[in-house]
Amino acid sequence: MSKHSSDPFAEHLSIMKSLYHEYQRRDEIESLRSVEMLLKETMDVQNLRKEQGLILIKNLSCSVMDLEALSVYPESQNFHQKRIEALQKDGEATAGALISVEREIKMHEDQLLQVAERARNAMARRQGLERTVSTEEPFLRHQLSLFAHISKITWKLDREESVAGTVSDQKSGDLRPFDVPDSQSLSQYELVNKLWQVL
């Protein structure tokens, strides 16, 4: 009989504890492997950054050498003075041109004001004519319609070069066409006489 015969589970518990310790050791090994891998990756990254840093330092050194070469001023000592004098002359010429441009702008502004004033006057005249047409045209149309009714004349308004139309005779019931050619060359007095003869 085993020494664990009094406890039927003692042998099983002992086996389970042994397995538990074995698994713990395996977990520790896996943890160590993970740490080793992480350490290797860190070292690789560090080496890569070190190489990149060396390349950067080399490039910066080349840039510094280039800048040192460029920092040597190639011009003579009085170059700046000559350049300043040339810029002053250019500035004076530009100022003169600017004054001329300002004068032209002022002249154009005055012309625009005059044009705007003429436009306002033209608009006022147009509004006055529109008011005249709106007030006098109905009155003239009314008078013409009364005259046409009394005189029995129908005007042909599509002929600008002559005065033409038809006259209705109430007694005979006839329609007599009439046409006064070259009416624009006649005076109003002569034109009225010719129309009176027609009537």
Block means of pLDDT (10 residues each) for the chain, 199 residues, are 57 69 67 76 83 87 79 66 83 85 88 88 86 76 72 70 75 76 76 76
The pLDDT of residue 1: 44
| Alpha-helical runs (H) found in 71-171 | 79-151
Q: Indicate the pTM of the whole model.
A: 0.30
Tell me the two tokens of residue 97. Answer: 């041109």
Residues of the chain above pLDDT 70, percent: 75
Amino acid 41: pLDDT: 83
* pLDDT for res 162: 72
What is the spatial distance between Cα 19 and Cα 22, in angstroms, rounded to a whole number? Answer: 5
